[in-house]
Amino acid sequence: MIIDFKDIEEAKIMGFKGGQGELDTRNYVDEKVKIMKSVLKPGASTGLHTHEGNCEIVYILKGSVTFHYDGNVETAKEGQVHYCPMNHNHYMENTTSEDVEYLAIVPEHH
């Protein structure tokens, strides 16, 4: 199965999960997984959230982004992966002047 994000309508979300600024995203969702190709704009952030019942894998396609993971601060660069296991919390912020592009995968846990 091929997923072409160009064929999925882009959603522009302001203040994703209580964060700041703009997140542009194209999402594939079925009963087993959510796959998101997103752009976090300069100065934007997602809100702090806990992954209850699932985890999240975030692969950085372009740029550099700061993650706040279980109270620690980490920077993920292009080509790196941030992993938030089940029952852990995180949020990300773009403190740079460039867009951050990433692919995020959230498998459903049953």
Q: How many CB atoms lie within 10 A of CB 73?
A: 9
Q: What letter does residue 108 receive in the DSSP assignment?
A: B
pLDDT digits (tens, 9 = 90+) for 14-31: 999 999 999 999 999 999
pLDDT digits (tens, 9 = 90+) for 35-83: 999 999 999 999 999 999 999 999 999 999 999 999 999 999 999 999 9
pLDDT over 70 (residue 110): no
pLDDT over 80 (residue 97): yes
Mean pLDDT of 101-110: 89
Token pair, residue 48, equals 């702090």
